[in-house]
Amino acid sequence: MNEAGSHDVTTDQARKLAGSGWLKRVGHGAYCQAWEPLTWESAVFALQASDDTEMPPLWPGGQTALALHGFAHYMPMGERTTHLYGKEAARLPRWLSDADWAGRMVLHSEKGLPVQLPGSFTDYAPDGRAFSLQVSTPERAVLEWIAVTPNALLFSSELVDTFGGLNTLRPRRLQALLEGCRSVRTKRAFLVLARHAGHAWYGGLEPRRLDLGKGKRQLCQGGKLDREYHVTVPEAFLHAD
């Protein structure tokens, strides 16, 4: 799949190729090879391939990236939602936002996680396809998920149970991402959830090297103050003195 005007194919050429049956129009300004199956992965690949910057303009992250890496804890019910992340000014093109074949797509901003942080991206090759996407690493993806999750859902079973399966995260990569993260809330919430999960990699983190801000923060209603990270959390997530 390509956007007209990219990959040395002009809009007029794309129209002619579509007229001859070589290309299929999939939306305003976008075409694919007539025999190419339409998937959200091919759409994201087209957007990444048409951008000539070093970092991807948008990418699968959060829950979606964790699922691609095999960390999905729950099977999605109803319409599938694909979570994409992008730079502050990123927008989904109309041909993609209007595409019923792509499912529901939600675009989030990077939320305090700069795109250039080391250990942010890795390649993912969809089954049976001859291309790969840049997607968030599991370490970045879990921080992205926390960053866009409202306080009321921070300690939900979906997020907490998924955390329980994240036993292979790399502490050095996590440390680098946490040190580069600009969101105090994201860092404190991550540390509370990571401590609660009890994975071995938590012991490899160095919270003292992180800028965790000052003062107390409230992460839930009716919780209790965690004395280690100075956040209000459900009682089950308190630090064991």
pLDDT of residue 155: 96
Mean pLDDT of 39-57: 83
CB-based contacts of 10, cutoff 8 Å, min separation 6: 4
Q: Is the pLDDT of residue 175 over 90?
A: yes
pLDDT of residue 111: 81
Q: Is the pLDDT of residue 184 over 80?
A: yes
Pairwise pLDDT comparison (28 vs 71), residue with the higher score: 71
Range in 9-13, 127-131, 159-163, 223-227 the model is least confident about: 9-13
pLDDT in tens, 133-159: 999 999 999 999 999 999 999 999 999
Going from N- to C-terminal start, the domains of the chain cover: 1-36, 40-209
**Single pTM value for the model:** 0.86
Q: Is the pLDDT of residue 77 over 60?
A: yes
Range in 8-22, 117-131, 185-199 the model is least confident about: 8-22
How is residue 147 written in tokens?
Answer: 């960053």
β-partners of residue 31 are: 2, 25
